């Protein structure tokens, strides 16, 4: 049985990048025979970037409803909220104690924050919390707690999974074979979905298309995707076109090839955008209805999460007992 695990940070409204990079591939994988899936809301991770309790709660509900609306079957998979599993921060500490500080100094997100400080003439660590610095260790605990083999993610998360492997190997070396070494699974087609401005779609760039934006808002947003200034009738480049890349993430190979031909033949941008809108809406519309229904009944979502937490803890708790024993700590009563 292959164990597949992935999480999403509830720090904002889920967007098309989260959907194609993580949600869609994971939901598809979770329906295959011989796959045991763990899907969770990384709310401890959300606290690193958000100090707004209402936002964390709202986003947790939105992302949980999104997973279910996108076809996850909570009976079949283990679907939980990270903060419902106290064994995860406990494991984070054990891993922190085998984690070289240098490893974390090299983490992309931390380095980017330091570089930005230096570029702005501030002290290197100004405003950087231990939460941000420890981010990869908490994420390693998420993955190693359930001994996941595969972790489907967008390209931005690869380094974190490599770090989880490093920490698993260090721990195993010191205490015996307790952890499986996880592997990132990246769908190359959609590894980085561009946003409205052509950069990676990301909450922090404010360029996202919310997954369940109402139909008219979705159309408006899509009409706002950056394009060059080529007029109708002029051939368009597919290379480097955000519009084309987003289309490719939703369409079949044949549909994509047809759009490439129309680009060469000089399709008007407005028409290409209309085609993209229709293609996305065709896939999303049925899920949007389920999502709206779930958002109107938060207690249903909560019931799934509680049941999922019980299922997850039934594994995490005995595994943590084994790890406590391995490092020389007393078993909990």
Residues forming the site for ligand TYM (CB under 6 A) = 5-9, 17-18, 20-22, 42, 45, 139, 142-143, 151, 153-154, 156-157, 160, 190, 192-193, 200-202
The nearest distance, CB 275 to ligand TYM, in angstroms, is 21
152 is annotated as contributing to ligand binding: no
The nearest distance, CB 144 to ligand TYM, in angstroms, is 10
203 is annotated as contributing to ligand binding: yes
Residue 11 and residue 203 in contact, taking contact as beta carbons nearer than 8 Å: yes
What 3-state class would DSSP assign to 291?
A: helix
The nearest distance, CB 17 to ligand TYM, in angstroms, is 3
Distance (Å, rounded) from C-alpha 278 to C-alpha 142? 37
Return the number of the residue (267 or 309) whose C-beta is nearest ligand TYM. 309
Cβ atoms within 10 Å, residue 295: 16
Distance (Å, rounded) from C-alpha 77 to C-alpha 186? 21
142 is annotated as contributing to ligand binding: yes
Distance (Å, rounded) from C-alpha 282 to C-alpha 292? 17
Cα 259–Cα 262–Cα 267 angle in degrees, nearest 5:
115
The nearest distance, CB 34 to ligand TYM, in angstroms, is 20
Residue 209 and residue 219 in contact, taking contact as beta carbons nearer than 8 Å: no
317 is annotated as contributing to ligand binding: no
204 is annotated as contributing to ligand binding: yes
The nearest distance, CB 94 to ligand TYM, in angstroms, is 17
Nearest to 201 by CA among 237, 256, 243: 243
Residue nearest to ligand TYM (CB): 21
17 is annotated as contributing to ligand binding: yes
Residue numbering of the annotated binding site for ATP = 9-11, 17-18, 154-156, 193, 200-204
Binding residues for L-tryptophan: 142
């Amino acid at each position: 049985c292959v164990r597949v695990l992935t999480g999403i940070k509830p720090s904002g409204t889920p967007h098309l990048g989260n959907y194609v990079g993580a949600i869609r591939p994971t939901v598809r994988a979770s329906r295959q025979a011989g796959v045991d899936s763990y899907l969770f809301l990384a709310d401890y991770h959300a606290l690193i970037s958000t100090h707004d309790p209402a936002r964390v709660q709202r986003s947790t509900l939105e992302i949980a409803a999104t997973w279910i609306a996108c076809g996850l079957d909570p009976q079949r998979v283990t679907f939980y909220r990270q903060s419902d599993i106290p064994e995860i921060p406990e494991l984070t500490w054990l891993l922190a104690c085998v984690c070289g500080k240098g490893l974390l100094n090299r983490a992309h997100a931390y380095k980017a924050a330091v570089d930005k400080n230096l570029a702005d003439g501030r002290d290197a660590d100004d405003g950087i919390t231990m939460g941000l610095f420890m981010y990869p260790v908490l994420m390693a605990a998420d993955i190693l707690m359930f001994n996941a083999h595969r972790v489907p993610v967008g390209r931005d998360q690869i380094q974190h999974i490599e770090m989880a492997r490093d920490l698993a190997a260090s721990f195993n070396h010191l205490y015996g074979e307790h952890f499986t070494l996880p592997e990132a699974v990246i769908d190359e087609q959609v590894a980085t979905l561009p946003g409205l401005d052509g950069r990676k779609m990301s909450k922090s760039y404010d360029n996202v298309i919310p997954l369940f934006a109402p139909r008219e808002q979705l159309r408006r947003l899509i009409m706002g995707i950056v394009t060059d200034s080529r007029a109708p009738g002029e051939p368009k480049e597919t290379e480097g076109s955000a519009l084309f890349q987003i289309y490719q993430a939703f369409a079949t190979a044949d549909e994509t090839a047809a759009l490439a031909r129309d680009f060469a033949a000089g399709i008007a941008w407005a028409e290409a955008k209309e085609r993209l809108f229709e293609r996305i809406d065709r896939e999303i519309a049925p899920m949007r209805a389920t999502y709206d229904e779930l958002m109107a009944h938060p207690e249903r979502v909560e019931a799934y999460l509680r049941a999922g937490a019980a299922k997850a803890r039934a594994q995490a708790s005995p595994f943590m007992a084994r790890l406590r024993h391995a490092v020389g700590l007393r078993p909990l009563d």
